[in-house]
A and B are shown apart, each in its own frame.
Chain A
Amino acid sequence: MGVLDKFKSKMDSLKNTYQKIDASVKITCKKCGYEAKAYDLIENFYICPECGNYYRMGARDRINLLTDKNSFKELYKGLTSKNFLEFPSYQDKLKKATSDTGEEDAVVCGTASIGENPCAIFVMDSKFMMASMGSVVGEKITRLFEYAIEYKLPVIGFTASGGARMQEGVISLMQMAKVSGAVKNHSNAGLLYITVLTDPTTGGVTASFAMQGDIILAEPKALVGFAGRRVVEQATKSQLPDNFQKAEFMLEHGFIDAIIPRPELSNVLSELLILHKRSV
């Protein structure tokens, strides 16, 4: 057994342990109150077996469910946020988010294959400071697009975000243009970019790379919008429909290509990757 294989089997056993621990835990559905065993929930793509409610997923869980086994290779580990504006309690929030999620910041990037089709992938993690976008998120995604241009890879991006990260001030805003520039270069190189909008995708992320995909997919009932619902209500001074800013609403108004149920995502993405392969 080579060093790499040993390492892999070690990782697999670690994963099993992690799942065993989780198996005893019960998670209550926020919608219907049903108590599902964590293990069953994972088997069911984090969808409530009772009412069909979609749970928000961590970035790692999503990568495990979506990509071919052992195909994910993480890129740009070791980038962490800095409180360069000395914004009150930013450092504490970062610390708490890291200890809650085990992540360094709100996005995980790497390469992987889906149905044996290679791609570059980024997944935002709403459990990390509501996946707000600061320097680290902007830098990692920009690097990923630059990498994808160099290696001629399609990019698949799972978005979720409360928007730009206030604690990094205008520099967070600049990330929108920075990533957009990299997306533009990737697009000009004739490469495919698919975004999958997950709950919730809002603010500066909606107003930049979430909406720049060649193909824009969304999970059912995911919240997708620019301004917050409360803000819109104040501006409009009227009741908004229940499905306002939901994926279904966005589909109806022509802003996304398709809504794909979570269990089908892997297959649909794989099909799309095959469809965009250039014949040699």
Chain B
Amino acid sequence: MNPYEKLKATRKSDRPTSNAYIQEIFDSPLELHGDRRFSDDLAIVAGVGFLGKYPVTFIATEKGKPDLQDRMARNFGCPKPDGYRKALRLMKQAEKFHRPVICFVDTQGAFAGADAEERGQGQAIAESIMEMMGLKTPVISIVIGEGGSGGALALASANKVFILENAVYSVISPEGCASILWKEASPENVAKAAECLHITAQDMKNLGVAEAVIQEDFENFSDMCEMLKNKLIEAVEELIDFSEEDLLEQRYRRFRKFGVFEEEKKGFFRKK
């Protein structure tokens, strides 16, 4: 598949969404609702459960079941500020009880409606990212479908990031990119944008944005989830022994390294 085909594949309604992974991976998962401020955004599913022997908090963007009713109720997986505030509330709760946080990312992006703007979409994402960077408990994120821009990063400012082999992660939707740069989001332009933006799982591995690429096998979904579960347990076991300070340092260094630029070195004038 080329990048555009991969993008389209992540949007197919029969592709497993977060809820399917949650049911397979965690033992006795209990969903917890609401942001305690305004509403319960169903585009975010979150709760507590066991990952093997470890109690964890899970947080996910959920696109909904194939039927339109459920998809609409979940706003097609595009969270509003209330969703990000629910996510943050439960991350803080996880921190309090020293539970690792496991995030599943599958969203076209944060919702771009008038109500979302009114209630501070930008502020909600900004706060989520900043608080995640300071969260004193391990955070592991998995991009299972679409990783759409800031709305995805708000659940992926993590110690480790995994991505499924045909999932995508991008700064802007290829449609948005094509319509800004080339005026029209025709299929050819979108395909070109998808290529130029470097959105595939392999790109993420090469750029260091993801630590591991997870093989897909939707035919044998249980087996695939078993493998993913083991991978998650492995990651939790690696991170759980970190001191709070080391955990924050590891996360900071993980993101600190991103950036490609030229630097002119002027020995005499050069400041630190």
Contact = CB atoms under 8 A, between A and B. Distances in A.
B141 to A, nearest CB: 11
A142 B118 contact: no
A31 B247 CA distance: 52
B91 interface: no
A82 B262 contact: yes
Given A176-B129, A181-B252, A255-B123, A244 B260 contact: no
B87 to A, nearest CB: 14
B150 A207 contact: yes
Nearest to B133: A181
A266 interface: no
Contact of B126 (A75, A170, A212): A212
B261 A177 contact: no
Interface in B148-175: 149-150, 153-154, 157, 169-172
Interface in B196-210: 196-199, 203-204, 207, 209
A212 B154 CA distance: 14
A70 B176 CA distance: 43
Interface residues on B, range: 35 or more
A176 B157 CA distance: 9
A3 interface: no
Contact of A135 (B121, B199, B259): B259
Interface stretch (B28-36, B216-224, B228-236, B263-271): B263-271
Given A80-B262, A204-B150, A171 B126 contact: no
Q: Which of A77, A170, A236, A238 has the most CB of B within 10 A?
A: A170
Given A80-B261, A180-B126, A235-B111, A171 B180 contact: no
Contacts, number: 195
B116 to A, nearest CB: 7
Contact of B118 (A87, A183, A238, A253): A253
Contacts of B131: 184
A164 B152 CA distance: 14
Interface residues of A, number: 64
Interface string A209-240: 11110000000000011111001100110101
A147 B199 CA distance: 33
B120 interface: yes
Given A169-B199, A173-B153, A226 B172 contact: no
B122 A211 contact: yes
B196 A170 contact: no
B258 A174 contact: yes
B112 interface: yes
Contacts of A212: 126-127, 130
Interface string A152-187: 000000000001111011111111111011011100
A178 B257 CA distance: 8
A155 to B, nearest CB: 14
Interface string B101-145: 000000000111110111111110111011111100000000000
In order of increasing CB-CB distance, the 4 nearest A-B pairs are A206-B122, A227-B112, A78-B264, A135-B259
15 contacts: A79-B261, A81-B262, A164-B172, A170-B203, A174-B209, A178-B259, A181-B130, A210-B122, A224-B122, A227-B116, A236-B113, A236-B114, A245-B117, A253-B119, A255-B120
Interface of A: 75-82, 84-85, 87-88, 135-136, 138-139, 142, 147, 163-166, 168-178, 180-181, 183-185, 188, 203-204, 206-212, 224-228, 231-232, 235-236, 238, 240, 244-245, 253-255
